[in-house]
Amino acid sequence: MAAGLRSKTTEGLWWRGLQDPASLAKDELRRLFTLAASLIQRFELLFLNHRQGFVPREVWEAQSQNIERVCNTPGIQRWFSEFSAGVHAEFREYIEARTGT
């Protein structure tokens, strides 16, 4: 994810899109959704690895706060409303329970 935010333009788009996805042009929204998909996939794998016992509890507790914070932004909630069918059911339920989506 960090590699995707190396340019100031992309970083600005990311933060603007997280807070107000409706303000983005169509091509900007597509870029936001591409970045969001990458991040959600990483969160999903972390979640599933934690469920399997591969991620220590203290690591999960710290990262789960980041997951909840990011997933409660309007931009990620919009991505989730449009694309969550492709997310593992348990992870989708976890996010929905914490975001009200």
Report the pLDDT averaged over residues 63-92: 95
Using a pLDDT cut of 90, give the percent of the chain over it. Answer: 84
Dump pLDDT digits (tens) for 50-72. Answer: 999 999 999 999 999 999 999 99
Cα–Cα distances in angstroms (integers) from residue 37 to residues 42, 57, 58, 71, 75, in the given order: 9, 25, 25, 12, 11
Question: What are the tokens at 90?
Answer: 């348990």
pTM: predicted TM-score of the whole model, two decimal places? 0.85
pLDDT in the model for residue 6:
60
Report the pLDDT averaged over residues 67-95: 95
Question: What are the tokens at 79?
Answer: 């991505």
* Cβ(16)–Cβ(75) below 8 Å: no
Q: Cα–Cα distance between 89 and 73 in angstroms, integer?
A: 21
Higher pLDDT, 60 or 8: 60
**For the chain, what are the domain ranges?**
2-99
- Phi then psi for residue 24, to 5 deg, are -85, 145
